Amino acid sequence: MELRNIISIDELNKEQILKIIESTIYFKEVLERDLKKVPALRGKTVVNLFYEPSTRTRTSFEIAAKRLSADVLNFAPSTSSLKKGETELDTIKTILAMKADLAVIRHKDSGFVKYISDNINIPVINGGDGRHSHPTQALLDLFTIYEHFKSMDKIEIAIVGDMLNSRVARSDILLFKQMGFSVFTVCPSMLLPEDMSYFGTENFNSIDDVIERCDVIYMLRMQFERQNRKLYPSVREYNRFFSLDISRFKKMKKGSILMHPGPVNRGIEIDGRILDMEEENMERIKISEQVSNGVAVRMSLLHYLLSQQ
């Protein structure tokens, strides 16, 4: 099963997805050792090219590579020759001339990562491109669900919030559907993309319609930075129909879990007090667990792509 790049979820088949998810368990075990490092990718160089601000994805890739003993080069566009007028592809080719083995790329434009991967000869992992795709987030979400429920049968999941601007939601829906989950969306109509029929999910107008029945409540981040006009009347109105407050949190189905890709806007999509209860509610609130699992999934992906060259 030849897999060169991880650009979007629809390029992965079910067998490849299962292989990646099942391998992740063994990489996670490395993270629980006293000495959290193995020499698996010694001598390899991973370059992080992040054209968009990111804390967790970039540091997650960086630490994943370091745990496997690869060298990491972080590229920051603000200090680079892009300012001097060099094109993005030329910048990337310059970096690759320094003999990198794999590139992780994030960019504000959908399709940018695909364009770069078509023009360079090393494996590329998409760290998020515009509104298009964020495959590593979707895979870590799937691993978190698999680890909690110990299976992927009959999972019902509701994805709640800003669908329009969310590459996480697009990748998650594609992946969850492929694994046979029932996926619902809960989204104000103004934040619902026109192309939703492509995903074939049922949309609800209030979180109350799904809160008691779903195994997973997946809250999305309100992406203020991508909204150039106001698409809902007020925070109060949004809270009334779409936010997770304490009383809704208590209504969640027995054994169900709460997820969020982070960073959370406290008081917008989730009541801040729920986040503060995470330590006592590890079985239910998986937001920090998602971050931990992100490192393990990325180790699995780096190893997978770099071990078959």
Partner 1 sequence: MREKATVLNESDMDRIVKRIAHEIIERNKGSNNLIFLGIQKKGIPLTERIKQHIENLEKTKISYGKLDISFYRDDINKKIKTDFNITDIPFEIKDKDIILVDDVLFTGRTIRAALDAIMDFGRPKSIQLVVLIDRGHRELPIRADYVGKNLPTSLNEYVEVKFKEIEGEDKVSICWI
Q: What is the DSSP letter of 202?
A: E
Strand pairing partners for 257? 216
Q: Which of 81, 87, 119, 309 binds partner 1 (CB under 8 A)?
A: 309
CA 291, CA 296: separation in Å to the nearest integer? Answer: 9
Nearest distance from residue 304's CB to partner 1, in Å?
7
Nearest distance from residue 34's CB to partner 1, in Å?
7
Give Cα separations from 96 to 40, 81, 179 (angstroms): 22, 15, 36
Q: Which of 6, 9, 21, 41 binds partner 1 (CB under 8 A)?
A: 41
Stretch touching partner 1 by CB under 8 A, among 21-29, 92-100, 104-112, 145-153: 21-29
Q: 37 or 213, CB closer to partner 1?
A: 37
Number of H helices, E strands in the chain: 10, 9
CA 303, CA 201: separation in Å to the nearest integer? Answer: 33
34 binds partner 1 (CB under 8 A): yes
Nearest distance from residue 293's CB to partner 1, in Å?
16
* CA angle in degrees (0–180, nearest 5) for 66-309-142: 60
Question: Do residues 291 and 262 make contact, with C-beta atoms less than 8 angstroms apart?
Answer: yes
307 binds partner 1 (CB under 8 A): yes
53 binds partner 1 (CB under 8 A): no
Of residues 63 through 82, those in contact with partner 1 by CB under 8 A are 68
Of residues 109 through 138, those in contact with partner 1 by CB under 8 A are none
14 binds partner 1 (CB under 8 A): no
Nearest distance from residue 69's CB to partner 1, in Å?
9
Where do the H-state alpha helices sit in the chain? Answer: 14-31, 56-67, 88-96, 112-119, 135-149, 167-178, 235-242, 246-251, 272-276, 287-306
Name the site residues for partner 1 (rule: CB under 8 A).
19, 23, 25-26, 29-30, 33-35, 37-41, 68, 304, 306-309
